[in-house]
Structure 1
Amino acid sequence: MRVFQVRQTTTGAILWTGAAADPLSALDAMAHEAGYYDHSDIPEHMRAGGLQAEEVRV
């Protein structure tokens, strides 16, 4: 597993940091922790500016 941060692209706000296999899995994990089934269920107003999953290098 690698560590990813999910950010709201427009504001740069970090929405989630955690372990995932790949960027798509990171988006799904973030959504699941927030109570959604997967990233496609995240409300449009949160996705409007874009979501970006980026691997964190430590």
Structure 2
Amino acid sequence: MSIFQIKQKTSGAVLWTGSAHDEKTALDAMAREAGYADYASLPDQIRAGGVQAAKLDLIS
């Protein structure tokens, strides 16, 4: 698994950070933590501004 950070494109606000297998599962995990079934279930106005999922490269 990798660590992903999801940000709102318009404001740059971090919406979620956590581990996931890929970008799609990261978006679904973010939505579940917000109380939705998956990313596709989020209201249109939330998805309209766009979100960006980035894989974080953490080096120790």
Q: TM-score, normalised by structure 2?
A: 0.91
Q: What is the SS of the residue equivalent to 1:32?
A: helix
Equivalent residues, number: 58
In structure 2, the gaps of 5 or more residues are: none
Cα distance in 1 for partners of 2:22, 2:9 equals 18
Q: TM-score, normalised by structure 1?
A: 0.94
Cα distance in 2 for partners of 1:51, 1:41 equals 14
- How far 1:32 moved relative to its partner? 0.5
- How far 1:52 moved relative to its partner? 1.1
- How far 1:44 moved relative to its partner? 1.3
Higher gyration radius (CA): 2
Q: Sequence identity of aligned pairs in percent?
A: 53
Establish whether residue 42 from structure 1 lines up as the match of residue 46 from structure 2: no
